[in-house]
């Protein structure tokens, strides 16, 4: 497997620190507002990558944090007249609801900053002891001039920082790019006691401390959106490697921006979409997940409502076809003809090769839809190929996470035998021209989520 590493700018062969074990950390949300589409893109990608690693035989230890104390959370708490903890709890709950709808599995660990204050304080203290941090009137800062490798992830130099970086001015700082490890707080403000001054963590220190606690000094994969390359991940490297003397991560993965009509999604531009609202408008998790995965993870993903509707229709049509495939495949024999077997093997190999090549989901989806079309052409003709193909669909979907195949079956409100009996009864009613009874049966099944289609080959049914 090859993955493009932001640190080197190259697609590199993936070799974990331990054989068949992967340690992966993905930066989580700051829960002060509803989870947006950009979050969805990032977490759907890393969820699918995790699924593929597990499919490939790796044991994955996946960590994703919550930054549950932050200036934005404190501001929202004042606005809503509730505590910062209540703000964080509210939006973490909303996040979990929408993210699980997208089929994203929970991390192995979801550490919260406020549960790790003692470890963070110890990290700050050690950085001061090692000479990488200093105290000024409003907090304790990291001295980027003491870390020779600063800028290696983003490609920024100290001169770049002075000229163009978005940095809060502070005449007390040794360098404009120095960043807060610990922000001092007044007695009435949110904060924790620390011998060097009561306060709360800066943004970056939390991930350095928590990733080390759960994954060790060096992890295999550290990920997030491209907006985190600088300053967040650059600062994480400076902190962590100053503390341990070891690389923080061997592979840095950053997914591309989500753009709205060619512009980066931003609240200031009023082109902001959150997942909760999109679900409320009737878009399905299946269509949403497909839309978020269909472009290569490193490229920008351009969102419009029209493009989301197209993805929705594509997945609705595909799900209906797969529902029909699964019905036909249940009693199929195991042996497959050499020709069909060769085609199915080729599809599987091409699908896997696409994902091994920098997790190329556009090419993987091409094989997924090729498989569905091939099997659809074999319905009622080659049940063995249909059966084998149905198993392959399930295998692919264990990675893509598009189709809740068990859910599709559970949606069926009547036993299959009862459906078939009613279809036969309706056919008999039509034969004797009792169209009233035929319509009653059609409507009865429709109310149960089952749609009848009259074709030259007979009446078929599918879930709706």
From CA 290, how far away is CA 298, in angstroms rounded?
16
**C-beta neighbour count of 390 within 10 angstroms:** 21
Token pair listed for 359: 């997790």
> Is residue 412 over pLDDT 80?
no
Quote the pLDDT of residue 330. 61
Q: Are 223 and 25 in contact (CB under 8 A)?
A: yes
Of residues 70 and 412, which shows the higher confidence score? 70
Mean pLDDT across 134-163: 88
> For 216-241, what is the mean pLDDT?
97
What local confidence, expressed as pLDDT, does residue 380 receive? 79
- The neighbour count for residue 162, using CB atoms within 10 Å, is 12
> In this predicted structure, which of 2-6, 38-42, 68-72, 403-407 has the lowest mean pLDDT?
403-407
Mean pLDDT of 421-433: 90
| Least reliable range by pLDDT among 82-91, 207-216, 377-386 | 377-386
Query: Mean pLDDT lowest for which of 57-61, 273-277, 347-351?
Result: 273-277
Q: What pLDDT does residue 293 have?
A: 97
Q: From 224, 384, 400, 212, select the one nearest 319 (Cα to Cα).
A: 400
pLDDT bin (cut points 50, 70, 90) of residue 268 is low
Q: What angle do CA 98, 28, 167 make, to 5 degrees?
A: 130
- pLDDT over 90 (residue 450): no
Using an 8 Å Cβ cutoff, are 111 and 65 in contact? yes
Nearest CA-CA partner of 24 in 50, 54, 56: 50
CATH topology of domain 277-411: 1.20.120
Given a cut of 50, is residue 63 above it in pLDDT? yes
Q: What percent of the chain has pLDDT over 90?
A: 75
**Taking a C-beta distance cutoff of 8 angstroms, is the pair 339, 309 a contact?**
no
Q: What is the pLDDT of residues 167-215, one digit of tens each?
A: 567 889 999 899 999 999 988 889 999 999 999 999 999 999 999 999 9
Fold of 2-255: Rossmann fold (3.40.50)
Alpha-carbon span 179 to 124, nearest angstrom: 12
Percent of the chain clearing pLDDT 70 (strictly above)? 92
The domain segmentation of the chain, as residue ranges, is 2-255, 277-411, 416-463
Q: Could you please report the per-residue DSSP string of 196-263?
A: T-SEEE-TTHHHHHHHHHHH-SSEEEEEEEGGGIIIIIHHHHHHHHHHHSS-SEEEEEEEPPEEETTE
User: Which residues 6+ apart lie within 8 Å of 426 measured at CB?
Assistant: 437, 438, 441, 442, 452, 459
The torsion of the CA quartet 271, 275, 279, 284, rounded to 10 degrees, works out to: 110
> Is residue 374 over pLDDT 90?
yes
Residue with tokens 């709890």: 89
Question: From CA 287, how far away is CA 279, in angstroms rounded?
Answer: 10
Is the pLDDT at 408 greater than 60? The verdict is no
DSSP three-state, residue 193: coil
Q: Which of 148-152, 160-164, 310-314, 430-434 has the lowest mean pLDDT?
A: 160-164
Q: What is the pLDDT of residues 8-39, one digit of tens each?
A: 999 999 999 999 999 999 999 999 999 999 99
Task: Confirm if 182 and 124 have CB atoms less than 8 A apart.
Answer: yes
**pLDDT, mean over the chain:** 90
Residue 163 has pLDDT above 80, yes or no: no
Copy the structure tokens of residue 71. Answer: 């200036």
Please tell me the least confidently modeled range out of 77-81, 95-99, 460-464: 460-464
Is 2-255's fold the same as 277-411's?
no
pLDDT value for 272: 75
**β 21-26/59-64 pair status:** parallel
DSSP at 104: P
Task: Please report which confidence band the pLDDT of residue 424 belongs to, taking 50, 70 and 90 as the band edges.
Answer: confident
pTM to 2 decimal places: 0.86
For range 319-333, the mean pLDDT: 77
How many helices (H) does the chain have, and how many strands (E)?
16, 15
Taking residues 317-341, report their average pLDDT.
Answer: 81
Strand-strand pairing, 219-225 and 249-255: parallel
Residue showing tokens 């597990």:
54
């Amino acid at each position: 497997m090859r993955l493009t590493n932001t640190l080197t700018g190259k697609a590199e062969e993936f070799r974990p620190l331990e054989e068949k074990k992967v340690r992966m950390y993905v930066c989580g949300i700051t829960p002060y507002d509803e989870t947006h589409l950009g979050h969805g893109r990032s977490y759907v990608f890393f969820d699918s990558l995790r699924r593929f690693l597990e499919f490939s035989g790796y044991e994955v230890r996946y960590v994703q944090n919550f930054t549950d104390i932050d200036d934005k959370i404190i501001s929202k708490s004042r606005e809503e007249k509730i505590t910062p903890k209540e703000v964080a709890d509210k939006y973490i709950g909303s996040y979990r609801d929408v993210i699980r709808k997208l089929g994203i599995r929970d991390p192995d660990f979801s550490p919260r900053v406020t549960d790790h204050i003692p470890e963070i304080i110890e990290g700050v203290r050690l950085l001061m002891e090692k000479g990488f941090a200093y105290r000024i009137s409003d907090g304790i800062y990291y001295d980027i001039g003491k870390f020779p490798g600063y800028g290696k992830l983003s490609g920024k130099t100290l001169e770049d920082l002075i000229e163009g970086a978005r940095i809060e001015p502070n005449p007390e700082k040794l360098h404009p790019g120095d960043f807060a490890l610990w922000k001092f707080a007044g007695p009435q403000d949110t904060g924790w006691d620390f011998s060097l001054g009561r306060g709360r963590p800066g943004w970056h220190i939390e991930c350095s401390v928590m990733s080390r606690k759960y994954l060790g000094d060096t992890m295999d994969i550290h990920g997030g959106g491209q907006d985190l390359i600088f300053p967040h991940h650059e600062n994480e490297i400076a902190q962590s490697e100053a503390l341990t003397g070891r690389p923080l991560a061997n592979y840095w993965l950053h997914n591309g921006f989500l753009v709205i009509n060619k512009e980066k999604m931003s609240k200031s531009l009023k082109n902001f979409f959150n997942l909760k609202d999109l679900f409320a408008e009737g878009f399905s998790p299946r269509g949403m997940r497909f839309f978020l995965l269909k472009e290569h993870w490193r490229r920008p993903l351009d969102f419009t409502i029209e493009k989301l509707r197209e993805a929705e229709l594509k997945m609705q049509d595909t799900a209906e076809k797969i529902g029909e495939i699964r019905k036909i495949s249940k009693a199929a024999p195991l042996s497959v003809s050499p020709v069909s077997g060769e085609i199915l093997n080729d599809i599987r190999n091409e699908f896997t090769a696409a994902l091994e090549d920098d997790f190329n989901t556009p090419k993987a989806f091409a094989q997924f839809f090729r498989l569905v079309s091939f099997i659809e052409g074999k319905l009622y003709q080659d049940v063995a190929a249909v059966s084998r193909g149905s198993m392959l669909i399930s295998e692919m979907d264990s990675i893509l996470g598009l189709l809740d195949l068990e859910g599709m079956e559970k949606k069926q409100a009547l036993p299959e035998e009862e459906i078939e009996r009613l279809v036969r009864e309706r056919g008999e009613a039509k034969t004797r021209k009792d169209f009233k009874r035929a319509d009653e049966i059609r409507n009865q099944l429709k109310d149960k989520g089952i749609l009848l289609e009259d074709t030259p080959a007979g009446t078929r049914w599918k879930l709706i």
